[in-house]
């Protein structure tokens, strides 16, 4: 039966193959740290990399110049944009 979520609990449980756990424990020992610290340090680094990749847009120089040009000189609104703007609810 599943346990109820407890907001104040800072634990994370995971199932792991014994051979994988042994590898992690060996790596933690070689890094002179405990298993929790080893896992957290490496998982948080991986999490930061995933977040960085998801939140950053890398443009070529050509694309960067195009964005700046469009910001400086935006195109005139077309009929579809004007219709979409008219369809927006008015603020009270």
Position 39 in a domain: yes
Instruction: Give a yes or no: residue 57 inside a domain.
Output: yes
**pLDDT tens column, 18-67:** 999 999 999 999 999 999 999 999 999 999 999 999 999 999 999 999 99
Q: How many residues are listed for the chain in this entry?
A: 92
Is 2 part of a structural domain of the chain?
no
Q: Is 84 exposed, middle or buried (0-12, 13-18, 19+ CB in 10 A)?
A: exposed
Within a domain: 80:
yes
Residue 70 within any structural domain of the chain: yes
pTM: 0.57
Q: How many domains does the chain have?
A: 1
Residue 26 lies in a domain: yes
Structural domain range at position 60: 18-87
- What is the model's pLDDT at position 9? 73
Residue 80 makes CB contacts below 8 A (sequence gap 6+) with none
């Amino acid at each position: 039966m599943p346990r109820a979520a407890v907001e104040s609990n800072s634990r994370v449980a995971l199932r792991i193959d014994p051979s994988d756990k042994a590898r992690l424990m060996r790596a933690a020992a070689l890094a002179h740290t405990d298993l929790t610290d080893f896992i957290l340090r490496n998982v948080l680094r991986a999490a930061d990399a995933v977040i960085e990749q998801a939140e950053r847009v890398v443009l070529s120089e050509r694309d960067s110049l195009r964005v700046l040009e469009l910001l400086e000189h935006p195109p005139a609104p077309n009929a579809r944009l004007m219709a979409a703007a008219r369809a927006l609810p008015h603020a009270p």
